[in-house]
Amino acid sequence: MEEAGVRNQEAQDAVDRASTYEWGFSSDIEQEFAPKGLNEDTVRYISAKKNEPEWMLEWRLKAYRAWLTMEEVSWAKLDIPAIDFQDAYYYAEPKAKPKLGSLDEVDPEILRVYAKLGIPIEEQKVLAGVEGARKVAVDAVFDSVSVATTFRKELEAAGVIFRSISEAIREYPDLVRKYLGSVVPQRDNYFACLNAAVFSDGTFVYIPEGVRCPMELSTYFRINAENTGQFERTLIVADKGSYVSYLEGCTAPMRDENQLHAAVVELYAHDDAEIKYSTVQNWYPGDAEGKGGIYNFVTKRAMCAGARSKVSWTQVETGSAITWKYPSCILKGEGSVGEFYSVALTNNRQQADTGTKMVHIGKNSRSTIVSKGISAGRSNNTYRGLVRVNAGAENVRNFTQCDSLLLGDQCGAHTVPYIEVKNPSAQIEHEATTSKISDDQMFYAMSRGLNAEDAVALIVNGFAKEVLQQLPMEFAVEAQKLLGISLEGSVG
């Protein structure tokens, strides 16, 4: 429809322009790889490289053997080109970032993005891989050479354990062993099983009883921060009455040569504990034709085991060619609470199939789901959710709001919610709306002085506000800018 196309041309152009990232690195990488392909030896190789105890190797092998018997799932509304699992490297030494002399060698377009996101210069150096930047950046960002150490001291004083998962397996084997795989069992799904066999990186967090973690934890801060691996495994345990807020990802565009990302995140909350898990992800989405983007399959699940335990998932997703993730909550404890807040923006030929599962087992458990999907270009954005109330779960309350905003007439927005209720005292409410930015809204905003890009950004941010408000402060500001950038462009 000609008319429809022209009406949203401004929005469309804006989206197109900012969606392309040209990276001009010259890389000088020396790495050690395991031989290509995946077999039992690969698993042993990885375990050996990580100096893992015997029980950990056995655990991995068990998962690998199970994976061989499993079938890949195809029901999502995605066109997944067949993945050749033998045509990939499953282990690589932590990549040194490509070494650049200075920021001047970085593509100005990227710098512009960094500037717009408000990322301090020094951090930009770290991200862009400027030689020698790492140590200095950390210091510069955090004011002193020993800030990193101070940070660690503070956590230790509080009793908080915050390590890479490999370190934790070595230093706290009993703790890890107790909880690993307890929320996402090996056989849970195809990619989780693969992850259990070959995971090589990730985070372990333990908050002791009654402790309120003194600062927001972020993958950013991990001292031996390796690259975000393709098979990350994260495990967070909050003991009774504790609180932790964890941030994952960052708003700067991340490129990774590994196309397939299959991560597993397990959260475990005891009585009266609260875990807040926020994700802001901007994976490289592929070019305008959708080639080369990252495939992001993540299994994230929380076990609200304790009475009155609470887990909040908040995510802002832009980028990645194909996303498949359903952060979920098993609401086992009486009075437990699960929350899911999501903004997913897709453009070009991206495909997102994301949503959540709230399984109510405990009495008086509650869940809230707010999902905002923004589709542009030729992308497809699907919300897929499940709210299940078991027969023994009395007085359950759920409220779900799924809203889709369509920019242009070449994209698609879909909601596929499953509601399964077996207890009569449950009150379940689900609402969904679909809308576009109306000409009236654009005209109104522009008549008050905003240009087209800003108007679109403003309206989109308003649309996503309820979710953005859930993010910890710094992330919220960055995320807002990210949304704006992903939609900005030059309007003639």
Partner 1 sequence: MTLLELPSARDESWRWSDLSSLPAIAGRQPAGTVPEALPWIDCGGEGPRLLFVDGKLAAEQSNLGSVELGTVTADPADHALARLVGSDGWKLRLGRDHAPTGLVQIVHVSTGGADHLPSEIELDVDAQASVVETYMGDGWINRLAHIRLLKGARLMLSRRVIGEGGYVSLSDRASVGEGASITVTTLAAGRADTRLDGRVVLAGEAAFAEVGGALLASGKQRHDANLVIRHEQRSGMSRQVWRSVADDAAICSVAARVEVARAAQKTDGEQSLKGLLLNRGATINAKPELEIFADDVKCAHGATVGELDRNALFYLASRGVPRDEAKALLTQAFVADAIDRIGEAAVREAFHQDAMAWLGASS
> According to the binding rule CB under 8 A, does residue 187 interact with partner 1?
no
Q: In whole angstroms, what is the distance from residue 485 CA to residue 17 CA? A: 10
C-beta of 164: minimal distance to partner 1 in Å? 39
Stretch that binds partner 1, among 30-38, 41-49, 161-169, 420-428 (CB under 8 A): 420-428
- Closer residue to partner 1 (CB): 480 or 486: 486
The radius of gyration of the chain from alpha carbons, rounded to an integer in Å, stands at 22
Q: Which of 249, 355, 408, 484 binds partner 1 (CB under 8 A)?
A: 408
Contacts 24+ apart (CB under 8 A), 120-123: none
Residue 416 interacting with partner 1 (CB under 8 A): yes
Binding mask 5-24 for partner 1 (x = CB under 8 A): ---x----------------
The candidate with the shortest Cα–Cα distance to 244, out of 335, 149, 160, is 160
Q: Is residue 393 helix, strand or coil?
A: coil
Does 427 bind partner 1 (CB under 8 A)? Our answer is: yes
Least distance to partner 1, CB of residue 375, Å: 9
Asked whether position 490 contacts partner 1 by CB under 8 A, the answer is: no
> What DSSP character marks residue 256?
-
Contact 388, 360 (CB under 8 A): yes
Tokens of 224: 């031996």
Sites for partner 1 among residues 387-406 (CB under 8 A): 391, 404, 406
Interaction between residue 273 and partner 1 (CB under 8 A): no
| Other Cβ atoms closer than 10 A to 424 | 8
**Interacting residue with partner 1 among 74, 431, 448, 473 (CB under 8 A):** 431
Q: Is 364 near partner 1 (CB under 8 A)? A: no
Are 295 and 357 in contact by the 8 Å Cβ rule? The answer is: no
Tell me, what amino acid is at 282? N
Q: Which of 46, 110, 426, 459 binds partner 1 (CB under 8 A)?
A: 426
Which DSSP symbol is given to 312? E
250 or 396: whose CB is closer to partner 1?
396
436 binds partner 1, rule: CB under 8 A: yes
Q: How many CB atoms lie within 10 A of CB 423?
A: 15
**Token digits of residue 85:** 């699992």
Tell me how far apart the alpha carbons of residues 268 and 179 are, in angstroms, rounded to a whole number: 8
Q: Which stretch binds partner 1 (CB under 8 A): 151-159, 191-199, 258-266, 410-418?
A: 410-418
- Could you list the residues that contact partner 1 (CB under 8 A)? 1, 4, 8, 75, 391, 404, 406-436
